[in-house]
Amino acid sequence: MAELHLTLHTDKYQINMMYAHWKNGTANRKAVFEAYFRKLPFGNGYAVFAGLERIVHYIQGLRFGEEELRYLAEQEEQYEPAFLELLRQFKFGGSLYAVEEGQIVFPNEPLIRVEGTIFETQLVETALLNFMNYQTLIATKASRIAQVAEGDVLLEFGTRRAQEADAAVWGARAAYIAGFHATSNMLAGMRFGIPTKGTHAHSWVQDHDTEEEAFMKYAQALPDQVTLLVDTYDTLKSGVENAIKTARWLDSIGKKMGAIRLDSGDLAYLSKQARKRLDAAGFPEVKIVASNDLDETLIFNLKAQGAKIDTWGVGTQLITAADQPSLGGVYKLTARERDGELVPVIKLSNNPEKVTAPGKKSVYRIVNRNTGLAEADYLSLDNEDDDPNGRRLKLFDPVHPYIYRYVSDYEAVPLLRPIFEQGQLVYELPDLDRIRAYHREQLSRMSPEVQRKLNPELYPVHLSEKAWQLKMDLIKSYQKD
């Protein structure tokens, strides 16, 4: 997990292109790349950006050590010793701009912009996308779950089903950014300061002669943190009844039981029945925790059925993003140096959605001054004469430009922040509590229609007139009669 050892966390074609640039004398040519995704995951109305902290640590640790150089020397490409010596001296000297973690983001807008030599900007592509894609995906899934949970406590329980340790730890962090309250992963808790929560397993009950004995022994060991898993044998006939006995014993020594946990069966029915029994026994303060392959749809349906669940433990479906296990973010060249100047470049495709928007761009969020809500995001060329603020702005559909409107009473908020400038970190990484608060603030700027789970309203991302015209001109320049 140490970022210092991730320099070769890249695809081989990156190294091969770096070598080819070096051989051709173009390694120091300037370039601009932008990272973005093309389609919102899960049918959601928005995504939540995450992964920046790991990207920062990765770039800070970019070094080709002797082990990496020996490995590269063994490759079938037979890289020349002078190239390997250049790598030995390598240090990232470019600039990187990004939206802040927790920000609400949308398709086809730059989330990260990297500027520097083609040599260094090419190297960072794979790792940057890996970190951004996974953590943004999990943060978005977590935010969807938080939306339907409506203020209930959310616990991330996914470690055992995650795709290895990195996914478990950084996935827990991404979930916490977007509204989860705690994780079961102790390493994530230690590393990031995320609160940790845990109960006991079925094996604890199985390892005692009776369920009642198992509950009592657990309560005696941890009298201030008692949550009992009640479905090992029979949830209502034994589990809940034995939990009530344990709660009475705790009450007799001046302690309170925290919760019971349901991990199987008809969670709506069982939670309602358990609630009745706990209340009748005089324990209305005992909470009910539910787990068992939960996701936002199941939680939404359980709440609609009147389930008496206070806390949701979400594991596999969250940490693996089971219904869409990839964000599909891309990293595209938008400008390159020619004759000492940066010139825009475009990528054409038979798939229209893959045609890139050329040029180095800035991203603004257009916020209505009267409502405080975001109306659209606006992409302008970085070298345009003025930023959007203070002028009447034309917003038009980039696919159907004849559909447009004007806005005037707005604030244009820049989304891309400088993170590295000429290789130096200029951004202070916020702690997780600040990121969580920032996420809540940014989400509050989105209309309820964009946030809803089912059939969310499409949030528009517009190109400036100059950026749109540049795209049309470059497309035309490559078309053959």
Q: What is the pLDDT of residues 417-467, one digit of tens each?
A: 999 999 999 999 999 999 999 999 999 999 999 999 999 999 999 999 999
Q: Considering the domain boundaries, does residue 378 fall inside one? A: yes
Q: List the CATH number of the domain containing 217.
A: 3.20.20.70
Q: Considering the domain boundaries, does residue 102 fall inside one? A: yes
pLDDT for position 385: 61
pLDDT for position 4: 56
For 11, the token pair is 């695809």
- Residues 279, 134: one domain? no
- Residues 288, 354: one domain? no
Q: List the CATH number of the domain containing 68.
A: 3.20.140.10
How are beta strands 361-368 and 374-381 bridged, if at all? antiparallel
Model's pTM, two decimal places? 0.96
- Residues 338, 287: one domain? no
pLDDT for position 353: 87
What is 179-230 written as a DSSP string?
Answer: T--EES-HHHHHHH---B-----HHHHHTSSSHHHHHHHHHHH-TTS-EEE-
Q: Considering the domain boundaries, does residue 156 fall inside one? A: no
Of 268, 292, 316, the position where a domain reaches its end is 292
- Residues 373, 330: one domain? yes
pLDDT for position 1: 46
Q: Considering the domain boundaries, does residue 112 fall inside one? A: yes
- Residues 121, 218: one domain? no
Nearest to 299 by CA among 283, 287, 310: 310
pLDDT for position 402: 87
- Residues 333, 474: one domain? yes
Number of compact structural domains in the chain:
2
Which residues in the chain come in under a pLDDT of 70? Answer: 1-4, 385-386, 481
pLDDT for position 386: 61
- Residues 367, 468: one domain? yes
For 33, the token pair is 């790349």
- Residues 285, 393: one domain? no
How are beta strands 95-98 and 112-117 bridged, if at all? antiparallel
Distance CA 332, CA 125 (A): 9
Nearest to 389 by CA among 360, 410, 362: 410
pLDDT for position 277: 98
- Residues 469, 424: one domain? yes
Of 246, 268, 292, the position where a domain reaches its end is 292
Cβ–Cβ < 8 Å for 113, 34: yes
What is 11-71 written as a DSSP string?
Answer: -HHHHHHHHHHHHHT-TT-EEEEEEE-SS-GGG-S-EE---HHHHHHHHHT----HHHHHH
- Look up the domain containing 31 and give its range: 3-138+325-478
End-to-end CA distance of the chain: give it in Å, rounded. Answer: 53
- Residues 90, 210: one domain? no
Q: Considering the domain boundaries, does residue 402 fall inside one? A: yes
